Structure 1
């Protein structure tokens, strides 16, 4: 099926491009979302008549998205989850969870705007891209931790694994090998035989 794009769509084209897509993609996504029109002679004529208005509206939306992106870039959102000792989550952090954390911080982000290649499954600070407009992205960080204290620790640059390794190294340094052997046992008293 051929459609006329009313806005830039990733991997398809820019405004006004006539592209061939699968019928299901057009019927279920592009047409209902208002991102495209069927490529008929009537629609081509209507698009060309409204092209200046569509492009002007796109520029306005892009400018608004850029101002929001400036405010959003670099922000850190904390998501509290349960995890095992190795830092692997019991579940995952999905775009919905990030959107809820952003709303709790007072930022309105839709879960559909969060571009996550795969769910987050480990503790730590993870970079996440937010698509505010087809041409405007903002970079935020998601701090996944078991508690607020752990989130503050991770924000300072240390991971839970590093902290655990430091504690183990300190415990190993305090460990006294000589205390393992009692001097009497080391001689091998054979009086008991």
Structure 2
């Protein structure tokens, strides 16, 4: 005996906005309906959800466009990061995501350190391609040149 609802917000492991789902009455009554995650299916709700979907799609496209513009902007940048290094090219310390984000900020590109995708900090001199995850669908690459002070 399930209840049919239309989702007004994304719900993990259940569905996305606009999906029509069948759930247990208690789940609907105690969680989805009071928190305004869903409503019972009717023509008015369907129209409102379509408007929400259109707005979300437009916002998504705008975010992707901004991320693509930023990816193009960082593609031509070569960051030079001077660090203390030994004679064999090993660094005293390492270059981490925070340092790369700060170097990008000096070049006029503001990004959070969590956007910089490093498996592990860079620990030697040289030139590296570092990936930036600007959006779930858009990635950029910046060249990082680590030089000795």
Quickly name the TM-score band, shorter chain normalised: 0.5 to 0.7
* Residue pairs, 1:20-169, within 5 angstroms: 40-41=32-33, 42-45=36-39, 49=49, 50-147=52-149
- Structure having greater relative contact order (Cα 8 Å, sep ≥ 6): 2
What secondary structure is seen at the aligned counterpart in 2 of 1:83?
coil
2:11 and 2:37 in contact (8 A); partners too: no
Which structure dedicates a bigger proportion of its chain to helix?
1
Structure 1 CA distance for aligned equivalents of residues 91 and 38 of structure 2 = 51
Measured after TM superposition, the shift of residue 123 of structure 1 is 0.7
Which structure dedicates a bigger proportion of its chain to strand?
2
| RMSD (Å), alpha carbons | 2.4
Structure of greater Rg: 1
Structure 2 CA distance for aligned equivalents of residues 83 and 40 of structure 1 = 57
Runs (5+) with no aligned partner, structure 1: 7-15, 21-38, 148-193
Runs (5+) with no aligned partner, structure 2: 1-6, 15-30, 40-44
How many residues get paired? 115
Please list every run of at least 4 consecutive aligned residues from structure 1 whose deviation after the TM superposition is greater than 4 angstroms. none
Task: State TM-score, norm by structure 1.
Answer: 0.53
